[in-house]
């Protein structure tokens, strides 16, 4: 059965909050609408339960390394929705820090529609990364992603700035 893309509109903003292990503790109504689940159904589920099979593991390896170092992350994610659908997002994920002891309390993610420009660039990159993961492992896929970031970096841009420029 062929999958069908569910597109976010320019005003759709998905918001979710997860604990330190990635289990969803809050999700806004737009998240449920786009993902196709009844309101409240995803609370307690791990975010990876909606991960699409087309997503390279290396993307999440890098994402989690950055988050655990108290860094915010911009990235592109293809998620699985119910009823054989999927949706692409441009995500901004950041740790929520306890002011008293500077530890990470949880993670907050805001996601909006991926731009056509970004999707045209990222979709073939992720396919190539998946092929590499199958044949040579996650580390080789991560190396390809880092090479891609380096090749698209202007002057002294951060990785997040490179991703942001791809989106816009």
Mean pLDDT, residues 35-40 taken together: 94
DSSP symbol at 50: G
Provide the b/e sequence for 116-134 (b: ≥16 CB within 10 Å): eebbebbeebbeebbebbe
Specify burial of residue 102 (Cβ count, 10 A radius: 0-12, 13-18, 19+). Answer: exposed
Chain Cα centroid distance, residue 32: 16
Chain Cα centroid distance, residue 151: 21
Query: Per-residue pLDDT tens for 102-159?
Result: 999 999 999 999 999 999 999 999 999 999 999 999 999 999 999 999 999 999 999 9
pLDDT reported for residue 83: 86
Residues 25, 31, 34, CA angle at the centre, nearest 5°? 150
- The CATH class of 4-114 is alpha beta
Contact 125, 145 (CB under 8 A): yes
Query: Per-residue pLDDT tens for 46-90?
Result: 999 999 999 999 999 999 999 999 999 999 999 999 988 999 999
User: Would you list the domain boundaries of the chain?
Assistant: 4-114
Residue 1 reports pLDDT greater than 70: no
Q: What is the pTM of this model?
A: 0.94
Closest CA to 89 of 28, 31, 46: 31
pLDDT reported for residue 3: 84
């Amino acid at each position: 059965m062929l999958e069908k893309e569910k597109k976010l509109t320019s005003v759709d903003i998905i918001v979710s909050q997860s604990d330190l292990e990635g289990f969803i503790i809050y999700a806004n109504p737009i998240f449920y609408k786009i993902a196709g689940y009844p309101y409240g159904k995803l609370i307690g589920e791990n975010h990876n339960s909606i991960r699409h099979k087309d997503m390279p593991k290396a993307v999440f390896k890098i994402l989690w390394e950055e988050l655990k170092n108290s860094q915010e992350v911009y990235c592109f994610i293809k998620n699985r929705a119910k009823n054989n659908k999927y949706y692409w997002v441009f995500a901004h994920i950041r740790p929520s820090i306890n002011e008293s002891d500077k530890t990470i309390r949880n993670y907050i993610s805001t996601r909006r529609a991926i731009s056509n420009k970004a999707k045209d660039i990222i979709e073939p990159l992720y396919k190539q990364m998946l092929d590499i993961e199958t044949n040579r492992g996650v580390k080789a896929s991560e190396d390809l992603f880092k090479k891609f970031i380096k090749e698209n970096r202007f002057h002294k841009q951060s990785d997040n700035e490179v991703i942001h420029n791809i989106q816009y």
